Structure 1
Amino acid sequence: MSELSQREVRIDVWLWAARFFKTRSLAKQAIDGGKVELNGLSCKPARGVHVGDRVRVSRGEEKLECEVAALSEKRGPAVEAQKLYRETEESVASRERQREDRRMTGGALLRPASRPDKKARRLIQAMKDSL
């Protein structure tokens, strides 16, 4: 890894190696979709990442902001991947607040008291067919 500290690594490869995304293709799609910012600016998948850069990643409702601590082109165990970045205190606090809000509101899902009976299922199906 000392050899890589002098160079740069593509951001899509780094996001994959740091286990932000399961595949490099998903990392590339997120970057193209504007879900990833490097040093406050949108970027392309081939953009180089250096130690000390700030990366902001949006995955659904989850938003992470971290600083690049090390570079890697290889995907390793999760323990090693966590050494590649340091999440900012604001990001950790924000995610904790969101987690607590979801817990308190029950995920904001309105669940019916019971499963629909045969008549209700037919009405639901008829409504779906009319659309």
Structure 2
Amino acid sequence: MRIDKYLWCVRYYKTRSLATTACKKGHVRVNNDVVKPSREVYPQDSIEIRKDQINYTFTINAIPTSRVAAKLVAIYRTDTTPKEAFEAQELLHYAKTYYRKKGIGRPTKKDRRDIDDFTLENE
């Protein structure tokens, strides 16, 4: 089965075109090799995907005949993604939302002065 079709079947991507685009951009590796969307995959292949700033890694157990229900995905792959990858994503999320909540807008003059004072103290 083609790698783009496999990634779509096991629900890593919502559409096959998204999976194809990810392969073309070099976000997908099979056995540590960057692959084209047409690359055939087989059981016991190791796949690494870069998606949403997380490197997902998994091993293929079996090849599905078509798209699989979300509850049955574990039959076709074994997830080996380290927990540190998800923790780093969570820390990144907290770092982005720490200073200003989403939708609040540009900093006020007082906010700008506070930022300037803070950066001058740290230099």
TM-score, with structure 1 as normaliser: 0.70
Which of these residues, 14, 18, 23, is aligned with residue 22 of structure 1? 14
Q: 1:8-87 alignment to 2 at 5 Å?
A: 9-87=1-79
Q: What code does the residue aligned with 1:101 have?
A: L
Aligned residue number for residue 100 of structure 2? 111
For structure 1, list consecutive stretches of 5 or more residues without a partner in the other structure.
Answer: 1-8, 121-131
Shift, 1:102, TM fit: 3.6
Q: How many residues align?
A: 105
Provide the TM-score with structure 2 as the length reference.
0.74
Q: Deviations over 1:87-120 (max 9, x none)?
A: 11xx2322232144246xx2423316x946xxx7
**1:10-43: CA deviation from partner (whole Å, max 9, x where unpaired):** 1011000010000000000000000000000011
Provide the alpha-carbon RMSD of the alignment. 2.3
The CA distance in 2 between the partners of 1:71 and 1:55, in whole Å, is 13
CA contact (8 A) 1:12 1:28 kept: yes
Tell me what 2:87 maps to: 97
Give 4+ residue runs of structure 1 displaced > 3 Å after superposition.
none
**In structure 2, C-alpha distance between the alignment counterparts of 1:12 and 1:96, rounded to whole Å:** 24
Give me the identity figure in percent.
26
| Structure 2, gaps ≥5 residues long | 109-123
Residues 70 and 99 (structure 1), Cα distance of their counterparts in 2 relative to 1, 3 Å cut:
same
